[in-house]
Amino acid sequence: MKSAAFEYARASSVAEVCDWLRDGDDDIKLIAGGQSLVPMMAMRLTRPARLIDINEIDALKFVAVEKDAVRTGACTRQCVIANDNSLAKAVPLIRQALEWVGHVQTRNRGTIGGSLAHADPAAELPLVAQILNAQLVLRSFAGTRTVAANDFFEGPLATATRADECLEEIRWPVWNETRTGSAFTEVSRRHGDFALVAAAAQVSLDAGGKCTRASFGLAGGGYIPMTFPKLAARLLGTILDDEVVQSVVNDAAAEFDPGGDLHANAEYRRQLAAVLATRMLRAACEDARKRR
């Protein structure tokens, strides 16, 4: 399990990365934390001719909490994100999700942008990005563009990132409604494994307990992590009673089209999707009720 040979270049700035990526060469790969890329290279499932290391670019490592969004540099380590209290206050769902991501050693090295750019359909952070419709800033030699998460994920391990682009920054929308709650859970075989199914939700309530804003999503065994804006809209104006949650979740589980593998067949995954989505909407609602 030794990687095939490649050339290595350590980038010192995003501009340098963009310059190297200019030709849009498919044989070039960026490496951030490498927690998914390196095993794939060791198994020779991927064999880039050239590896550009973005780990030493300080400009890609930051957390900036602003009124409407939390901005995170793409190469910020997952452990840094998880330990940032102001971030957790502004967008609690990220920390809630990170509790399910890998282990201490992988979070110390793994980055927030790397997880999104890798786009494993069972990974936790892409699901959060989908639910919040995070904005992803992609940079190339020609400039930057911002892609909404809902447009970013195109398939398993496939994103809208062009071969000449580098993910630079992720903007996580902050819901400023006072009574906003969120929850994340998943079922996996073992703790720290990729989810068989992950579910998360975020809702805001008005003073009367009626839902004013809602988003939820599912991941695992699917094509991409999914969020259901149209179904979530049906929750608005309700008190998130069992009946409406159940109806919305049933439709979501039907829309969520998970595949089967040796750990869980499609039918079991659909059941998990319904159960976990229900639980997370309830939990997010509970969480919102506690806040004022």
Cα–Cα dist 225/239, whole Å: 26
Least Å from the CB of residue 69 to another protein: 28
Contact call for residue 38 and another protein (CB under 8 A): yes
Q: Are the CB atoms for 162 and 140 separated by under 8 Å?
A: yes
CB 91 within 8 A of CB 65: no
Of the candidate spans 16-24, 64-72, 143-151, 272-280, the one that interacts with another protein by CB under 8 A turns out to be 272-280
What's the rounded Cα separation, in Å, for the pair 271 and 276?
A: 9
Residue 25's Cβ-side half-sphere holds a number of Cα atoms within 13 Å equal to 16
Sign of CA dihedral 137, 112, 110, 39: negative
Dmax over CA atoms of the chain, in Å, equals 62
Residue in 133, 150, 212, 271 binding another protein, rule: CB under 8 A: 271
Considering only 109, 213, 234, 289, the residue that binds another protein (CB under 8 A) is 109
Q: Confirm or reject binding of residue 72 to another protein (CB under 8 A).
A: no
28-36, 62-70, 215-223, 227-235 -> range binding another protein (CB under 8 A): 28-36
The only residue of 31, 97, 125, 285 in contact with another protein, by rule CB under 8 A: 31
Instruction: Looking at residues 145 to 164 of the shown chain, list those that interact with another protein (rule: CB under 8 A).
Output: none
Site membership for another protein, residue 212 (CB under 8 A): no
Which CB atom, from 31 or from 129, has the smaller least distance to another protein?
31
User: 152 with 176: CB under 8 angstroms?
Assistant: no
Among 12, 86, 105, 176, binds another protein (CB under 8 A): 105
- Sole binder of another protein in the list 34, 121, 181, 221 (CB under 8 A): 34
**Residue 176 DSSP class:** -
The span of 38-46, 135-143, 151-159, 221-229 binding another protein (CB under 8 A) equals: 38-46
Q: Closest approach of Cβ 141 to another protein, in Å?
A: 24
Among 26, 67, 85, 104, the residue binding another protein under the rule CB under 8 A is 104
Q: Are strands 143-148 and 28-31 parallel, antiparallel or unpaired?
A: unpaired
Q: Of the candidates 16, 25, 53, 251, which one interacts with another protein according to CB under 8 A?
A: 53
Q: Which two tokens stand for residue 235?
A: 């929750």
CA-to-CA distance for 188 and 220, rounded, in angstroms? 10
**CA distances in angstroms from 174 to 65, 168, 171, 193, 268, listed in the order given:** 9, 19, 9, 29, 34
Q: Identify residues 166-195 at the interface with another protein (CB under 8 A).
A: 187, 189-194
- The tokens of 225 are what? 């992590």
Residue 101 exposure: Cα atoms within 13 Å on the Cβ side:
31
Binding site for another protein (CB under 8 A): 1-8, 10, 31, 34-35, 38-39, 41-44, 51, 53, 55-56, 79, 102-106, 108-109, 187, 189-194, 196, 262-265, 268, 271-272, 274-276
